[in-house]
Amino acid sequence: MTHAADPQVSTELPGPRSRALLGRLERTMYPGLRHGLAPFVMARKHDHVVEDIDGNVFWDFVSASASVPFGAAPRSITDAAVDAMRRYGLEDTHGIANELVAPLAEALLQVAPAGLTRVDIALNGTEAVETAVRFMRRSTGRPIVIGFMGAYHGEAGTAGAAGAEAAELSSGYRALMPGFVHVPYPNPYRTPFRPRPGGTGDGTIDYLRDHVLFHEIDPREVAGVLIEPVLGSGGCVAPPDPFWPALVDLCGAHGWLLCADEVKTGFGRSGTLFAVDRWDIRPDLIALGKAMGGGVLPIGAVLGTEGAMAFDDLSTGSTWSWFPGACAAALETLRWLREEPVLENVRALEAMALEELPGMMKRHPSVGDVRAVGCFWAIEFVRDRETKERDLPMQERVAREALARGIIGDSSTTSYNLQPSLVTPIDVARRALTIVGEAIGASEEAMRA
């Protein structure tokens, strides 16, 4: 049953006008850009609604890879950015500061976890992660950074090597970027580890402590740990609660720095301003990006303790890092989070998803697991619930069926992910999950045929 506000797709995808324009892109652009490109061309967007050039109307449940926190082009954030660009144009903040830089740094530190007292500038999340890794190594004088399988940290150089969401993402340069060791992410659904008697209380940390540090790496060579507090594109996974104190204790025991990659999880998407706030974790470094610019302009940052940034001899950032328009957008984004009921809505969306998603498992045998953390939602498809063998063809089929019904989701490496705007109305989000459920049913029927 549909209602007037439902998305409406009236052509095949891509529609004729989209097909023509996508063909022009294919003839001129780098071929790799085709991977993951939606089968339509956007004409306009407002709030969570996307209209393509063929007149089809979709609901956006990807939010530009979680970079658009409040729907398309919020008026006050856009106005702040445009006013700043008219006033200043572009200036390299490494050379000339503008009067927005100090207020933004102060505003970030005011809401940051305790102990973070310094800010460095970045253009985006990838650059922030790259800088954070350099800080870890420079501060400790140690070369190795421990990361987690399933994590995504960017696709350029150091950030790409630090991540391990899927082997293909780092193919061709993994061997050229040494100094990273990866262990399985503490995924409650897929972890190969269980806590043991006399251990830390967490199987992942027991494995890291008892096996990796014994057989593979000397802890005295480890600069620190880089972790997404909630896996983003890797499956919207939150670690079990015992993991965090065990990790903090391990870092303390060996003098490691703890760096939280909050590029995707930060600025409210996890239901708290930063995801580490959910567990009261106080990292030494935080990398920020994506939603920091309110979905209007790109900007990133690294927040750190005095100890993690106790030097001045690294050249960081790039020409466009913290240019005035982006600073204005970030300041207005923080005002939204401070003065508007954004976090309350995220928590309500999470509660609704936790009510609705388990029903999909009851109704659909292809669904192996469902997850919701703030506005990170995931549906994981399996061939068999006992073996948990992934069913990526089913996942791709569901993504296509959902898109044909007007829901834009993210068929990622391990799960079908939904990342709604943080201000999405509850009834819209509930209806979107119903439509996704219909897509799963249609996909199961088609796969059986």
Residue 8 lies in a domain: no
pLDDT at 159: 84
pLDDT at 198: 83
Q: Taking all residues of the chain, what is their mean pLDDT, rounded to a whole number?
A: 94
Last residue within a domain, chosen from 316, 339, 362: 339
Asked whether residue 206 falls in the same domain as residue 182, the answer is: yes
pLDDT at 448: 83
pLDDT at 4: 47
Asked whether residue 105 falls in the same domain as residue 251, the answer is: yes
Residue 121 lies in a domain: yes
**Helix (H, G, I), strand (E, B), or coil: what is residue 203?**
helix
Residue 3 lies in a domain: no
Q: Which helix (H) or strand (E) element contains residue 287?
A: strand 285-288
Please state the domain count of the chain. 2
The domain of 382 spans 16-73+342-448
**CATH classification at residue 180:** 3.40.640.10
| d(C-alpha 136, C-alpha 305), whole Å | 11
Beta strands in 6-79 (DSSP E): 42-46, 49-52, 57-60
Last residue within a domain, chosen from 274, 308, 339: 339
pLDDT at 85: 97
Token pair for 123: 């253009």
pLDDT at 281: 96
Residues 6+ apart with CB under 8 A from 434: 356
Q: Which helix (H) or strand (E) element contains residue 118?
A: strand 118-122
Residue 1 lies in a domain: no
Q: What would the pLDDT profile of 136-166 be if each residue is shown by its tens digit? A: 999 999 999 999 999 888 887 888 888 887 8
Asked whether residue 368 falls in the same domain as residue 248, the answer is: no
pLDDT at 425: 97
Asked whether residue 67 falls in the same domain as residue 87, the answer is: no
**Helix (H, G, I), strand (E, B), or coil: what is residue 175?**
helix
pLDDT at 2: 41
Asked whether residue 256 falls in the same domain as residue 374, the answer is: no
| d(C-alpha 164, C-alpha 226), whole Å | 12
Asked whether residue 291 falls in the same domain as residue 254, the answer is: yes
Asked whether residue 222 falls in the same domain as residue 141, the answer is: yes
Residue 66 lies in a domain: yes
Residue 144 lies in a domain: yes
Asked whether residue 68 falls in the same domain as residue 80, the answer is: no
Asked whether residue 328 falls in the same domain as residue 351, the answer is: no
Asked whether residue 68 falls in the same domain as residue 79, the answer is: no
Residue 9 lies in a domain: no
* DSSP string computed for 350-399: HHHHHHHHHHHHHH-TTEEEEEEETTEEEEEEEEETTTTEE-HHHHHHHH
Q: What would the pLDDT profile of 56-96 be if each residue is shown by its tens digit? A: 999 999 999 999 999 999 999 999 999 999 999 999 999 99
Asked whether residue 332 falls in the same domain as residue 367, the answer is: no
Residue 5 lies in a domain: no
**CATH classification at residue 347:** 3.90.1150.10
Residues 6+ apart with CB under 8 A from 448: none
pLDDT at 3: 43
Cβ atoms of 127 and 133 within 8 Å: the answer is no
Last residue within a domain, chosen from 319, 339, 359: 339
Asked whether residue 51 falls in the same domain as residue 137, the answer is: no
Q: What is the DSSP letter of 149?
A: E
Kindly give the parts of the chain with pLDDT less than 70. 1-4
pLDDT at 194: 84
| d(C-alpha 373, C-alpha 349), whole Å | 9
pLDDT at 139: 97
Question: Which pTM was predicted?
Answer: 0.95
